[in-house]
Amino acid sequence: MIQTILVVYGLLYFIDSLFDKWNTWERIAEFGSTAKHKFIYDLCFCRFCLMFHLAWMITILYGAFSSFSFDLVAVPFVVSGLTRLIEKR
């Protein structure tokens, strides 16, 4: 399970770096600012929420290429907790 967490964690921060480089986070924020629903607005401005959703998408892709197991359910939560701990420093 540690290997899965490290792979998802690494891919998450790689995608985060690409999104910073290509201004994708700003585009998501622009989309959220024009949204009619408050839920979409709040979601687009919550970086933690966006990273969590990216983490579970990466986990599903990882499970599709390796083997699905019940341990994969906890991976997005652990990775999100690790990202939160590192960002708090």
Mean pLDDT by 10 residues, the chain (89 residues): 92 94 93 90 89 94 90 92 80
User: What is residue 89's predicted lDDT score, i.e. its pLDDT?
Assistant: 62
2 neighbors 74 (Cβ within 8 angstroms): no
Token match 């994969």: residue? 72
44 neighbors 29 (Cβ within 8 angstroms): yes
User: What is residue 79's predicted lDDT score, i.e. its pLDDT?
Assistant: 92
To the nearest whole number, what is the mean pLDDT of the chain? Answer: 91
Q: Return the domain boundaries, the chain.
A: 2-88
